[in-house]
Amino acid sequence: MHSEDLRQDLANSARSFHARGWMLGTAGNLSARRAEDSFWITASGRPKDLLTPDDFVSVNLQGEVLAAPAGRKASAETAIHRVIYRHIPEARVVFHGHSIEANLCGHLARNGQLRLPPLEMLKGLGVPDAEPEVDLPVFANHQDVARIAGDMDAAFAQSLPRVPGVLIHQHGVTVWGRDLLSARHHLELLEYCFRYLVQAKALAIGVQA
């Protein structure tokens, strides 16, 4: 796909997520590989409902800026995207959102893990079992994003998550996929799980205290 088309597709995705309340204000970021060793990522401080192809910066897996429109710098969370692309070669797209439900679910985590509800929806996240027990990794939030990325790097070096996503406590969810459509599906399905957990907690049914 042409680079500008890819950036426009990311911008279109951002508008959709903004409309759902997952990337309000300038929160959140999106990226997609432009080559095996580089990717486009949203520029810092840009409103997600108004993105254009000029709101993306190209960086390589070492964190070096390869191309940036005037006045644009890469998202502060570029380091997190780099970790995912380094450890998961099949990941082509990464989305990071800040929904209310994702942040509420961080409080339900225990020992760095959030038990996802054993729903049929998990098949869309690559878990075909009936009523599976699946834990989503939950990482501590830090003002220094490099520390978050370092924690993820160390954890991924030990084992990769069972589903294509992670949660950062009091921060948001990050997902990845082999293309734009699969990454969007993964974000939608995890957000569904978060909404389910929040409502189940309110009804006091089958959710960790």
Q: At a CB cut-off of 8 Å and minimum separation 6, what does 81 contact?
A: 29, 31, 39, 41, 75, 94, 96
- At residue 178, the pLDDT reads 97
What single letter denotes the amino acid at residue 21?
A: G
- At residue 204, the pLDDT reads 80
- At residue 208, the pLDDT reads 58
What is the pLDDT tens value at each position of the chain, 209 positions in all? 456 789 999 999 999 999 999 999 999 999 999 999 999 999 999 999 999 999 999 999 999 999 999 999 999 999 999 999 999 999 999 999 999 999 999 999 999 999 999 999 999 999 998 889 999 999 999 999 999 999 999 999 999 999 999 999 999 999 999 999 999 999 999 999 999 999 999 888 666 54
Q: pLDDT of 124-142, one tens digit each?
A: 999 998 889 999 999 999 9
Longest C-alpha distance within the chain, in Å? 52
What is the pTM assigned to this prediction?
A: 0.94
Among the listed residues 183, 139, 150, the one whose alpha carbon sits nearest the alpha carbon of residue 164: 183
Domains, the chain, with CATH or none:
3-202 (3.40.225.10)
DSSP string for 87-132: H-TT--EEEEE--HHHHHHGGG-BTTEEEPP--GGGGGGT--SSS-
